[in-house]
Every structure is written in structure tokens, then in C-alpha cells.
Amino acid sequence: MSSTTALSGNLTRDPEIRYTRDGQATTVFGLAVNRRWQDRETREWEESTSFFDVVCWRELAENAALSLTRGMRVVVIGRLEQRTWETEEGERRSKVEVVADDLGTSLRFATADVHRTERAGGLDPEPTAEP
């Protein structure tokens, strides 16, 4: 079963790119999602922040590492995945991460200058010949 989620928040750290043994790019960054609401009884504003680790793969990982920096506001579309491992002391640990299917900068508080990346394998249209 897969659950899709959309998050909008700020990067808590610069994206960190690594490559698997077979050469696939993977990038991880932290995302802080803030929620603000007014208490109906006290009429005071309250705030809560949730923190997520976001994982990107392949071309999305490379583009994220090249484009994003700490503090930027982004929108992440992805799925929740739980990862489980055992520590050196034999303790079992688990963590829920967001595996991004797509992401982009939020235009709510900023503007963006978007550039198409060229890919090998004929996915891009042929370049226009200059006269």
C-alpha cells in the first residue's frame, strides 16, 4: 500500500547527494513544515513545527542537489516509507521518510527562474541549429 502526501516547508539543511554502488544518485534533505492556528477560546496564536527527512532518487536527486539550499521553501509530492535497521548495539530502530516523486520551489514567497536540463537517451527534443 502506498500513501501519497504533499508537503510545503523550508529546508533545514542543504541537500546531501550520494551515489549508490551502481551509480544511482540519491539526495536527502530536511524539511520543516510549520502550522499556525488561533485558539478559539483564548484567541491566542499557536504554532507547531513538524520535521521530515526527504529522499530523492536519480535525476530528481541531482536536480535537487544543484538547485536547493537551506532555508528555501519547497513543495514536495511523494510517498511515506518506513525504514527499519538494527544498531551496532542490537537495538531495532525505524524512521518514516518522504520519498519524493516530484518537488519544486514554492512561489508563495519567492520567484523562480526555471531551466530545462538535458538528458542522455533522446528524451529531449533535438537542439535548434543556428543559421
pTM of the predicted structure, to 2 decimals: 0.77
Cβ-based neighbours of 45, under 8 Å, separated by 6 or more: 36, 37, 38, 39
Angle (CA) 16-29-121 rounded to 5° is 65
Sorting pLDDT into bands at 50, 70 and 90, what band is 126? Answer: very low
The pLDDT score that the predictor gives to residue 122 is 46
**pLDDT of 9-32, one tens digit each?**
999 999 999 999 999 999 999 999
